[in-house]
A and B are shown apart, each in its own frame.
Chain A
C-alpha cells in the first residue's frame, strides 16, 4: 500500500456545549496543543448528533469523526449521552460494515474540567486516523468539484 508521507487527515469533532466544548476551551486556555486537522462543531448535547451528519462528513471527505459528550450520569440534559452511546454503537458497526473502519469513529466522554484529556484524545485520534490513511469509501465525488 502506498503511504502518503504528507497525509493530514480531516477530523470533524462534535462537542456538546456543556462538557466537551468547555473541555476544548480549557485545553485552549492551558495552551495544550493538538493538531489543527481537528475542527470542532458545537452542538447542545451529544445526542443532537444525527447519524446523517456523520455520513455527510464522510461523504464530503472527512477521514475521521469523533463525538464528545459529558460523562455518563453527568449529562446536562440528564440522559442525552446514553442515547448517543447506543445510537453510535449501532451506527459505527454499520459504518464498519460499509468499510469505514472502527478506528475512524469514536465517542469519548470529556468533562468541562478535562482540558488535558481533550487534547490527549485529539492527539491520539488524529494519530490513529493518520495511520489508516485517506478515507475513500463513502466519498461522494460529485462534492469534489
Chain B
C-alpha cells in the first residue's frame, strides 16, 4: 500500500479565489492511501517545496499529489523536490486545478467540487505509480541551423564560437537572407550590408561552420541529442570547391532575360548567376529553368569562359546524411502576396511597389544603383504615398490578410520616409497609418524625427483606392483626424505588406514534429519563460519563424537559441524519458501488431526460452522495446491484442483508475 501525501496550492488567489483549498485538502485526506494532506499559499516557492520535502521524510511518503497549476508548468519542479527528499521523481502526480479548474469556473462550489474530483483522479493514479529510472543516451555534438538569414548566421556563429561544429542549410545559393536585401536599418540608419556582410564572411570562414547553400532538409529522424537528417544539396551545375567566384560566366551568359529575384524581379540577371557581390559562398549557380544548355543541350558558353573548369552540366542532386544533437529552425519570413489587395492597383501599375521593393530601389546595389526612380518610366517621383498595415491587423477579413501586427512596418516606413526627405527634399511624402507603433529603444524618437525634422506628412486613416491615371496614381484616402476625404496625385505608392512565415516552415515543422500556430509561426515551449525552445525537445527557434521581429530582436533571440543549444551539446549524456512502452513477455505472443504501428521502429522481436508447466522449455517469439528509441506515445499499447504492451507512467491500469475516479 502506498503512503500518499496531498499538497493543495492556493497559488495566491489564482486557485484559492474560486476553489476552497482547505476543503479540497480535507476531502482528499480520506482517499485510499492518503496519509497526509495540507495546503499552502505557494507550493512552488522555496517554503512550499520545503514543506513537501519535510512531509515526505516525516511521513515516509511513497507518492505525492500536488494540486496546483498545469503539469506543463511545474511538474518538473515538483519532481525535483521529490527527488531531493529521496523519493523517486516519477512518484509525483499533478492535479491541474488552476488552468483546468479555478481559472475557467466562476463560483466557489463548482470549482471546489471539480478540484476534489481532479485531486481524487490524481490520487487514484499515484496509487498505481511505480518508481521509474530514465535511461541515458549519448549526445551528438553537432548542431544544425535551418535558414541562413541573420538569425541563422548569428545562432551558428555563437554555437561555433563555443567550440561545437554547426551546419547551416540555406535553400538559396547564398546566406544573408532578407537583411542582405535591405538598404539601411532603423533606428540608427546603419547600412544593412555593412553590418551583415562581415558576419556572413565570418560564418563562411569559421572552421566550425559548414554551409550547405542551395540545399534543403528532406528528412528528419531521431530525437533530442540524436537527430539524423537528410539534406538535399541541389545541383547548381557548378563545382563549388573549384569555382573562384570571378563572375566571368555571369557576364558572358547569353541568356539575359531572367527576372532577378534578389531585386524582386525589378531587373534581370543571367541564367548563370551570383545573387549579389558579397554572396557567401561566392559561387556561381546555373538556373536550370532558364539555361539553354541544360534545356536544349546547345550553348556551353559558361563552360568555355570558365578558366577554373568549374562548370559541370551533368551535376546531380546530392543527398547528405548527418547526425545532429540539436536543430535550430531559422526559416524567416516573406512579405505576403499583394494579389488580394487590388484596391491598391499593385498588379496594374509598376509604380505601386512593396516596401521590400522600395528597399531595393534605394539600395546602391539595387536595380537603379540607389537612385530613387519610378520603375515605370525611370523618372524621379515628386509625391510618394506610403500605405501602412497592408494585410496586417486585418481582423475584419482574415481571408485577405493577417490578424496580427507585423511589427516592423511602422519603423521601416518612418525610415523610408526620412531617407527620401533627406536625399530628395523636393519630394512630398505622405504616410497613411492606423496607429504608429514604436515600442523599442530609440524608436519613438526616430519616428518623431521623421515627422518634426524631416516634415513627413503622417495622416491617420487608410487609403481606400489607388487608380492609375496617365503617369499619375490617384490616391483616395480619408484623414480621420480632420474628418475629410483626401485626393492625392502620387508618383509612387509604397505598400507596407504584412509579413508571413516562409512557406518552407510548415513542411519543416511536420518533419521536426514541432508545433505551429494558426499563422504558421512556430510555437514556443512557453510564451514567456521558454521563448526560444520548441515544445519538441532538441528543436530551437531563432528569428521571425517564431513571430514578427526586427533585427535587434532577431539577433537577441538567435543568440539565446545558441545558448540553449550550447547548453544541450555540453552534456555528454542526456537523461531520457522513462515513460516508455514495455512488453510483458509472458503475455506477448509475438504477433507484430505493435511493431507495425510504432513510428520510431523501437520494437524488435527476439526468441526467448520459456519454462512450461510440464518442466519442458519452449522457444517463443516476443516483442522487445528499445527504450532509447521509444518516445512513449503509447500507440502500440492499443494495437496489442493480448494486452501485453503497456506504457510506463501512463499504464492502462492508471488511466482506468483516473476514469473510475472521475466517473464515481
Binding site for B on A (CB under 8 A): 10, 12, 17-19, 21-22, 24-25, 27-29, 31-34, 36, 39-45, 47-53, 56-57, 60-62, 70, 73-80, 83, 87, 111-114, 119, 143
Interface string of B106-139 (1 = CB under 8 A from A): 1000110110011001000000000000000000
Give the residue of A56, A57, A74 whose beta carbon is less than 8 angstroms from that of B515.
A74
Interface centre among B518, B647, B659 (most CB of A within 10 A): B659
- A52-B652, A143-B663 given; 4 more Cβ-contact pairs under 8 Å: A33-B104, A42-B71, A53-B652, A74-B516
CB nearest to B599 among chain A residues: A78
- Give how many A-B residue pairs fall within 8 Å (CB-CB): 157
Interface centre among A27, A42, A114 (most CB of B within 10 A): A42
Q: What is the bound-complex CA distance between A29 and B70, given in angstroms? A: 10
B424 beta carbon closer than 8 Å to chain A: no
User: In the complex, how many angstroms separate the beta carbon of A42 from the nearest chain B beta carbon?
Assistant: 7
B599 touches A33 (CB 8 A): no
Q: Which residues of B contact A10 (CB under 8 A)?
A: 662-663
User: In the complex, how many angstroms separate the beta carbon of B93 from the nearest chain A beta carbon?
Assistant: 10
B635 touches A83 (CB 8 A): yes
Q: Which residues of A contact B535 (CB under 8 A)?
A: 18, 22, 76, 112
Q: What is the bound-complex CA distance between A112 and B655, given in angstroms? A: 22
B111 touches A41 (CB 8 A): no
User: In the complex, how many angstroms separate the beta carbon of A25 from the nearest chain B beta carbon?
Assistant: 4
Interface centre among A39, A52, A80 (most CB of B within 10 A): A39
User: In the complex, how many angstroms separate the beta carbon of B564 from the nearest chain A beta carbon?
Assistant: 19
User: In the complex, how many angstroms separate the beta carbon of A51 from the nearest chain B beta carbon?
Assistant: 7
Q: What is the bound-complex CA distance between A34 and B100, given in angstroms? A: 10
A36 touches B111 (CB 8 A): yes
CB nearest to B652 among chain A residues: A50
Q: Which residues of B contact A49 (CB under 8 A)?
A: 638
Q: What is the bound-complex CA distance between A63 and B510, given in angstroms? A: 35
B599 touches A53 (CB 8 A): no
Give the residue of B110, B599, B650, B659 whose beta carbon is less than 8 angstroms from that of A12.
B659
* 30 A-B contact pairs sorted by A residue (CB < 8 Å): A12-B659, A12-B662, A19-B515, A21-B70, A27-B99, A28-B98, A28-B104, A32-B104, A34-B104, A36-B104, A36-B110, A41-B655, A42-B71, A42-B96, A43-B634, A43-B655, A45-B633, A47-B597, A47-B634, A48-B635, A53-B656, A56-B659, A60-B659, A61-B663, A62-B663, A74-B513, A74-B516, A80-B633, A83-B638, A111-B517
Q: Which residues of B contact A12 (CB under 8 A)?
A: 659, 662-663
A21 touches B72 (CB 8 A): yes
User: In the complex, how many angstroms separate the beta carbon of B339 from the nearest chain A beta carbon?
Assistant: 26
A48 touches B662 (CB 8 A): no
A77 touches B99 (CB 8 A): no
4 tightest Cβ-Cβ pairs between the two chains A and B: A28-B99, A48-B634, A60-B663, A77-B633
Q: Which residues of A contact B610 (CB under 8 A)?
A: none
CB nearest to A58 among chain B residues: B663
Interface centre among A10, A12, A75, A77 (most CB of B within 10 A): A77
User: In the complex, how many angstroms separate the beta carbon of A92 from the nearest chain B beta carbon?
Assistant: 15
CB nearest to B526 among chain A residues: A22
Give the residue of A28, A29, A77, A114 whose beta carbon is less than 8 angstroms from that of B599.
A77
Q: What is the bound-complex CA distance between A48 and B599, given in angstroms? A: 13
B515 touches A18 (CB 8 A): yes
B638 touches A50 (CB 8 A): yes
B150 beta carbon closer than 8 Å to chain A: no
B656 touches A56 (CB 8 A): yes
User: In the complex, how many angstroms separate the beta carbon of A20 from the nearest chain B beta carbon?
Assistant: 11
CB nearest to A31 among chain B residues: B103
User: In the complex, how many angstroms separate the beta carbon of B138 from the nearest chain A beta carbon?
Assistant: 22
B250 beta carbon closer than 8 Å to chain A: no
B103 touches A111 (CB 8 A): no
User: In the complex, how many angstroms separate the beta carbon of B550 from the nearest chain A beta carbon?
Assistant: 23
User: In the complex, how many angstroms separate the beta carbon of B500 from the nearest chain A beta carbon?
Assistant: 16
Q: What is the bound-complex CA distance between A127 and B348, given in angstroms? A: 51
Q: Which residues of B contact A25 (CB under 8 A)?
A: 70, 72-73, 96, 99-100
Interface centre among B96, B101, B635, B662 (most CB of A within 10 A): B635
A36 touches B637 (CB 8 A): no
Known: A45-B635, A48-B633, A48-B647. A111 touches B518 (CB 8 A): yes
B359 beta carbon closer than 8 Å to chain A: no
B659 touches A113 (CB 8 A): no
B68 beta carbon closer than 8 Å to chain A: no
B463 beta carbon closer than 8 Å to chain A: no
B615 beta carbon closer than 8 Å to chain A: no
A76 touches B536 (CB 8 A): yes
Q: What is the bound-complex CA distance between A61 and B117, given in angstroms? A: 15
User: In the complex, how many angstroms separate the beta carbon of A57 from the nearest chain B beta carbon?
Assistant: 5
Q: Which residues of A contact B118 (CB under 8 A)?
A: 39
Q: What is the bound-complex CA distance between A141 and B101, given in angstroms? A: 29
B99 touches A39 (CB 8 A): no
A41 touches B659 (CB 8 A): yes
Q: Which residues of A contact B510 (CB under 8 A)?
A: 73-74
Q: Which residues of A contact B113 (CB under 8 A)?
A: 36
A48 touches B638 (CB 8 A): yes
Q: Which residues of A contact B634 (CB under 8 A)?
A: 43-45, 47-48
Q: Which residues of B contact A74 (CB under 8 A)?
A: 509-510, 513, 515-516
Q: Which residues of B contact A112 (CB under 8 A)?
A: 515, 523, 535
